[in-house]
Structure 1
Amino acid sequence: MEYIQNKQYKNEDVYFDGSHYIGCSFTNCTIHISSLRFNYDRCTFMGSKFKLSPKVLLLQNVYSLLPSSITGKNIVQA
């Protein structure tokens, strides 16, 4: 797994799979998730949305991994 530390993403498409993000910030990004092979720690998400692959949507527990899981906002199916 690739480790990415303290990187700032703005207005980008970011593909989470295969990476571990540490201390990164995501502002107005679209975050693509097509597997559960990712991790993040101490990251911030401002105005970003998550696009989940249909195969990931079958896994109910994935929502608990996402910061917007409390409200369900900004999660869309890819």
Structure 2
Amino acid sequence: MGINGEDRAERKLCRWTAYALQNHLVLVDQGDSETSTIMALCGLLGIPSDAPTQDSSLPKCAWCAYAELDGAIEAEG
């Protein structure tokens, strides 16, 4: 289930972040306010201040990893 070139141009930019013992993809353009809530692609909710960058010692969330592998999103870094 790949995407074509036209759809690829509309991909959202995401970053990996460590939450709940896994790395999840979070949209880059979500608010970073201390009071806002951010949502990972898989639906996990969190607070931005609790979201460090990717932790290489943790596994990737399977749902988020598939979105990256499928080309549905573009991951930073």
- TM-score of the pair, normalised by structure 2: 0.28
- TM-score of the pair, normalised by structure 1: 0.28
Choose 1 or 2 for highest CA Rg.
2
* Structure with greater strand share of residues: 1
Larger RCO, structures 1/2 (Cα 8 Å, 6+ apart): 2
